[in-house]
Amino acid sequence: MPHQRSPYGNASTIHNHKRRAKWHDYSAPGTYMITMVIEGRKPLFGRLEIRPKPHVELSPLGHTVQEIELAKIHQFYPMIHLWHHCIMPDHLHAILHIESPLPEKRHLGTVMAGFKSGCTKAARQLLGDPELSLYEQGYNDRILLDDGQLDRWKRYLDDNPRRLALKRSHPHLFTTVYGINVAGHECQIFGNQFLLDIPDKEAIVVHRADNDSDFARKRQAWLACGERGGVLVSAAIAEREKQVMREAMDRGYCLILLRNNGFPEVYKPNGEAFGACAEGLLLQISPWDYRPERRVITREECLFLNGMAERMERGD
């Protein structure tokens, strides 16, 4: 069957993942997680080492960026504090806190432009290339709104080397594959493709008419499938569906998650999903292309994905 056309516009649109939030004042106090990528993903900042535990051994340029260039942000803008950072071989993350309003005509973009310029100047000197363009154009920012979010991102940055080691050890489990036929639809998938070959599947779909007794009976059957090595398939839309999928992941069962959005160009799952991918226990599937805008899933999409899960259970 032909690829399912996204209801959100032309699939050929080129999305920019570095757009700023138009509603936000980037000169005002706030906390941001910044990501900057080296042009061409060249590992100029260092190399991944596995022992004694996964970590990045910084190059002279990596050390310069960490010890000198990042410190310059606070030197030039005393109201900006570097709360956390992580330098990987081909990119860096920094959590910046703006304590008080920036000077007139200054905003986060001008701060990052100055930082990138300083890093590029250092790279040209260290690498002997006066024409070097160090970073990709632009940068990504994530606005951190609460302390819990901040703590989660700190843990995420600290865990970056371990995740990179896992990805390099199991590249086939961390690659987006396009044009795979699933339940009669051309899809993009990410994770352990061989879960599709396991015939024992159960679709986790909770209907509005299901009472507590119905749900308890279904939950028992679903978890029994996971326990015997079968695969649980769900879009995990309803809260009870999410509960079962979380419990199944905690138990180490095989899962297929149906998504109402595809995968961005550089995609990696977070948290427990990353570990499940590394162990070959998770496959994510979307019949639609990726779109960057956030929106609530529609009823039409819910019905489509639930129907897809049920067809996969039947082997259609």
129-154 pLDDT, tens digit per residue, is: 999 999 999 998 888 877 777 887 88
Q: What is the pLDDT of residue 21?
A: 63
Instruction: Report the interhelical angle of 160-169 vs 147-158 (nearest 10°).
Output: 50
CA 3 → CA 15, 166, 188, 258, 266, distances in Å? 20, 32, 10, 15, 22
Lowest mean pLDDT among 8-22, 192-206, 255-269: 8-22
pLDDT of residue 20: 57
pLDDT number for residue 172: 83
Cβ neighbours of residue 258 under 8 Å, at least 6 residues apart?
Answer: 233, 234, 235, 284, 285, 286, 305, 308, 309
pLDDT tens-digit readout, 66-97 = 999 999 999 999 999 999 999 999 999 999 99
Contact, 245 vs 204, CB < 8 A? yes
> Region 5-16: what's the mean pLDDT?
33
Dist. CA 173–CA 167, nearest whole Å: 8
Look up residue 6 and give its two tokens: 């996204």
Helix extents (H) in 159-298: 160-169, 212-227, 239-250, 271-278
| pLDDT, tens digit (0-9, with 9 covering 90-100), for 53-66 | 999 999 999 999 99
Residue 187 dihedral angles phi and psi, to the nearest 5°: -130, 165
> Is the distance from CB of 56 to CB of 89 less than 8 angstroms?
yes
What tens digit of pLDDT does each residue of 102-123 get?
999 999 999 999 999 999 999 9
Under a CB-based contact definition with an 8 Å cutoff, are residues 263 and 190 in contact?
A: yes
What gap in Å lies between CA 171 and CA 178, rounded to an integer?
A: 16
pLDDT grade for 234, boundaries at 50, 70 and 90: very high
34 pairs with which residues across the strands? 94, 141
pLDDT greater than 80 at residue 186: yes
Q: How confident is the model at residue 14 (pLDDT cuts 50, 70, 90)?
A: very low
Q: Which residues pair with 258 in a beta bridge?
A: 285
pLDDT band of 296, cuts 50, 70, 90? confident
* SS3 at position 84: strand
> Which whole number is the average pLDDT over 34-60?
95
Q: Does 2 score more than 60 pLDDT?
A: no
The percentage of residues in the chain with a pLDDT greater than 90, rounded to a whole number, is: 68
